[in-house]
Amino acid sequence: MEEKIEKVETVETSETEVNETENKKVDRPRRQSKEKRQREPRQRQPKLYEEEVISIGRVTKVTQGGRHFRFSAVVVVGDRKGKVGLGTGKANEVPDAIKKAIQSATKNVVKVELVDNRTIKHEIVTKSGACRVLLKPASAGTGLRAGGAVRDVLELAGVKDCISKSLGSRTKLNMATATVEALKREKSIEHVAELRGKTVEEILG
């Protein structure tokens, strides 16, 4: 009999503890609804430069464990207002390689001097590796007479009227590098006059 009475007492105490815990739960303040908890969406900052992927290469390394792939990317960035940059990146995945190339290109952005924000100032030939690129200014309405990597670089640089010719090798990276180098070497009349120690009228006359 004594054993049975002890068991009943333990059950009663456990029930009272449960009731106390339930009362405590009721006393707690309710959490805010989902509508109130929703945060305001973050405003994305506009990109400073547009991006264009020129080429993606793949290298396969054969080992005892199997084949390992590694990718390389060439990307050009620009604002179409006289700024352009070229960069390369390597990674085990294509998106990572493109991301590295974009970061490299934004670090190497150069300012291009344009005439009326549409064409280059003078004819120029530049070389990169076995590739040579010829750029010539054109009158308004001519458009871009260029193809491949040269066209991508000129478009993002803001050049609207230009004639180009690719000479020698046509590797995309070398063509893009030669085009960027040509845009960097563009000189205004004022700059040439300053280098020669003359006035603009003397050079034009």
pLDDT in tens, 148-200: 999 999 999 999 999 999 999 999 999 999 999 999 988 877 777 777 777 77
Please report, for the chain, the start and end positions of each structural domain, with discontinuous segments joined by +: 50-186
Express as a percent the part of the chain with pLDDT over 90: 58
pLDDT above 80 for 129: yes
With CA atoms as reference, report the closest residue to 137 among 164, 119, 159.
119
Eight-state DSSP code of residue 121: S
Sequence length of the chain is 205
Burial 46-79 (b: 16+ CB within 10 A, else e): eeebebbebbeeeeeeeeeeeeeeebbbbbbbbb
Q: Which residue has the higher pLDDT, 117 or 180?
A: 180
| DSSP one-letter string for 28-85 | SPPPPPHHHHPPPPPPPPPPSSEEEEEEEEEEEEEETTEEEEEEEEEEEEE-SSSEEE
**pLDDT confidence tier of residue 18, bands split at 50, 70 and 90:** very low
Assigned architecture for domain 50-186: 2-Layer Sandwich (3.30)
